[in-house]
């Protein structure tokens, strides 16, 4: 029988260090970008920029969401024996996080935004320049309503962790995203204010997922260690 051991402190330390390194590289390349002031000779920013899809920060964010999905899945498996009435919520969270991880990697929300804008249901400018926030915002509201009772039934440590991570993620993904959209609509995507806002936005999302993973880990094991045994 083989055994796989996860230690909470080591996992969280690795993730925090990764976010710190990515942030330093991102801010550094932005500094050089605005100093040179000539995007044509500085195109490798795409590899590090938080606002570009399919690069190193995107890869990290996608993997972090899938790690969170794995821990949600472990909670689902555990709840089937200990608290069967909660299992559907952990399963739903796992599926949601898997979708979010795939979305992050494949930029599905961007494609949704293009489609929504093409419907001409509203003017895609200002705070709604990135049109995907409308359908995703409605979906987030529905999920929040469906999960409210479940979240409040959890013990305080887990309840507070889930709520804070959720609020922090939504603050970045919708609140600051819409502020940055308004700035981009008025000043363009190359504006310094836009770069500052989307940097804060992505940091909110990254840190919220780390907090979520910490909370899911604690729900599984208060000792900070998880041992998975395989035959």
pLDDT per residue as tens digits for the range 145-200: 999 999 999 999 999 999 999 999 999 999 999 999 999 999 988 889 999 999 99
pLDDT for 41 equals 60
Identify the H or E element spanning 95: helix 87-106
- The residues that bridge with 3 in the sheet, in sequence order, are 229
Q: Given this model, what pLDDT does residue 124 score?
A: 86
Q: What is the pLDDT of residue 180?
A: 96
All residue ranges of the chain with pLDDT < 70 are 1-3, 38-44, 223-224, 229-231
Task: Give the structural domain span for 134.
Answer: 2-230
Domain count, the chain: 1
- In whole angstroms, what is the distance from residue 147 CA to residue 50 CA? 30
Radius of gyration from C-alpha coordinates of the chain:
19
């Amino acid at each position: 029988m083989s055994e796989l051991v996860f230690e909470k402190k080591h996992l969280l330390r690795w993730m925090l260090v990764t976010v710190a390194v990515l942030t330093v590289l991102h801010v550094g390349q932005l500094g050089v970008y605005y100093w040179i002031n000539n995007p044509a000779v500085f195109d490798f920013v795409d590899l590090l920029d938080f606002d570009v899809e399919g690069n190193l920060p995107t890869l990290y964010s996608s993997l972090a969401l899938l790690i969170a999905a794995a821990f949600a899945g472990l909670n689902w498996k555990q709840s089937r024996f200990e608290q069967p009435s909660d299992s559907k919520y952990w399963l739903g969270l796992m599926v949601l996080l898997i979708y979010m991880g795939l979305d992050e990697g494949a930029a599905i929300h961007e494609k949704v935004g293009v489609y929504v804008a093409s419907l001409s249901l509203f003017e895609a400018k200002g705070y709604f320049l990135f049109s995907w926030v409308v359908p995703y915002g409605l979906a987030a509201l529905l999920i929040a309503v469906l999960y409210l009772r479940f979240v409040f039934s959890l013990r305080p440590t887990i309840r507070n962790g889930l709520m804070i991570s959720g609020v922090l993620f939504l603050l970045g993904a919708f609140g600051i995203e819409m502020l940055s959209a308004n700035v981009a609509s008025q000043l363009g995507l190359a504006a310094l204010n836009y770069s500052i806002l989307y940097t804060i936005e992505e940091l909110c999302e990254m840190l919220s997922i780390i907090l979520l993973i910490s909370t899911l880990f604690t729900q599984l094991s208060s000792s900070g260690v998880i041992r998975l045994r395989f035959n």
